[in-house]
Amino acid sequence: MRTSTDPLLSQRTSGVLLHITSLPGPSGSGDLGANAYHFVDWLVSAGQSLWQILPLSPVGPGNSPYASPSSFAGNPLLVDLEDMVRSGWLHATPEIFLEPSHCDFDTVVPYRMARLHDAWQGFAQGALNPERAEFAAFCAEQSHWLDGYALFMALEARYGQPWTHWPTPLAQREPGALAAMAAELRNDVMFFSFVQWRFAVQWGRLRDYAHTLGVSIIGDAPIFVAHHSADVWIHASQFELDDCGEPSVVAGVPPDYFSATGQRWGNPLYRWSAMQAGGFSWWKARLKHLLSLVDIVRVDHFRGFDTYWEIPATELTAAVGQWRTGPGKVFLMHWARPLQTRCPRRPCPSSPKTWVRLAPPSPSCALHADSPACGYCSLLLATPQPTPICLTTMSHKQWPTLARTTTTPAQAGGTLPARSSGKQRATTSVLKLTWKFTGP
């Protein structure tokens, strides 16, 4: 198999998939408190070095992190309330029975959110100057996504319905209307910012603890986002929406052996031409932010970068639709450019500055069979069944020691069939893409 100099991908490792909310806890669901640290200890005692989690983002309909109001924010339900008590912003947990080994979200969500509101009031009234300064610094550093998210959540709390049903000046993000509501809802905006600060602090502590014990964290990024989200509200021009802001087409998968009508997910589809014109800046910011939180990112249903199933929004099922071509190699090459530098040995055939290689291309890979052969990064493929695919880039200091070997089908884990036709590829099982960047 192709050699990688990154320790996470150059040796055989194992771990456990367990989302944080599945941990036991005194507040009705798992969080970033003591039991998360105990789980890291357990991983070490079991000889495991990877902890895979579901998206860290806030939950949406059905309490699902895959329908989140933001792809940048952290889930408020993961914030450890006991940490707020120790900080002096929250009174000790009141006497309330919450099942420690079973999560009843209908009870847990309002309870936790009320406690977080109490903690915010405690902070606003009694925080020390260094704490206020730390909070202000966080807000300034994360303003590129935090300001819009906090206002979105405050407006959702005010109107309680999808953003397309808000007053037109707010739905269309008229600057004057946004400024007026930001001032009127300032306390709510600051509350949602405060919760994100505490999430970031607590997550950073847990991640650092895991790293000290040799445990790396695999994060998760759904390829599509929810329509009712700060992402779509703020970046509406990047999505296939009509004049009213509603999706004109939505995501899903076509009928197959498991479902005669397919799956209509309902997520708005990306307007890839607009995203490419902007250098895929939203995607770059999203993945860069997530990679600051975790060690590896799994992009869910990543095949949508190659081809995706487009369903007219008026259709109630996924039976009617068509395959559309995604951005493909153009997207991946754009993502690599912020990390690029000139190859120390020789330039890439496609560009003097590009050092990302998506090769050697496999006959089973529907992505980028014409990838340039630079040799300083790799796309590792196994079998056409659902399996990890690793795109790894290496630091320029690591390039001279890179072993330039070729992955054969046998080394990759199985015999690969001849290249499928477009129709066959359309029904191929969805693969999973794992990203790990070590940057120059």
What's the pLDDT at 337? Answer: 53
Measure the CA–CA gap between 95 and 172, rounded to whole angstroms.
45
Determine the 3-state secondary structure of 429 from DSSP.
coil
Burial of 81 (0-12, 13-18, 19+ CB in 10 A): buried
**What digits encode the pLDDT tens for the residues 133-173?**
999 999 999 999 999 999 999 999 999 999 999 999 999 99
pLDDT of residue 25: 82
pLDDT for 439 equals 37
The strands making up 263-268's β-sheet, listed across from edge to edge, are 263-268, 249-253, 307-312, 322-325
pLDDT score, position 150: 98
Q: What pLDDT is recorded for position 336?
A: 59
- The DSSP bridge partners found for residue 433 are 299, 389
- What is the pLDDT, as a whole number, of residue 98? 73
- 8 A C-beta contact, residue 324 and residue 308: yes
| pLDDT per 10-residue tile (average), the chain, 440 residues | 58 92 89 96 96 96 93 97 95 71 86 96 96 98 97 97 97 97 98 98 97 95 97 98 97 94 96 94 93 92 94 97 94 62 35 31 34 30 28 31 30 34 31 35
Dist CA 216 CA 295 (whole Å): 6
**Residue 406: predicted pLDDT:** 29
**Burial grade of 85 (CB within 10 A; 0-12, 13-18, 19 or more):** middle
Can you give the pLDDT at residue 404?
29
Condensed to tens digits (0 to 9), the pLDDT of residues 66-105 reads 999 999 999 999 999 999 999 999 998 765 667 767 788 8
Kind and range of the H or E run holding 121: helix 105-126
Rounded Cα–Cα distance for residues 364 and 401 (Å): 29
Distance (Å, whole) CA 74 – CA 68: 10
* Residue showing tokens 């290249």: 419
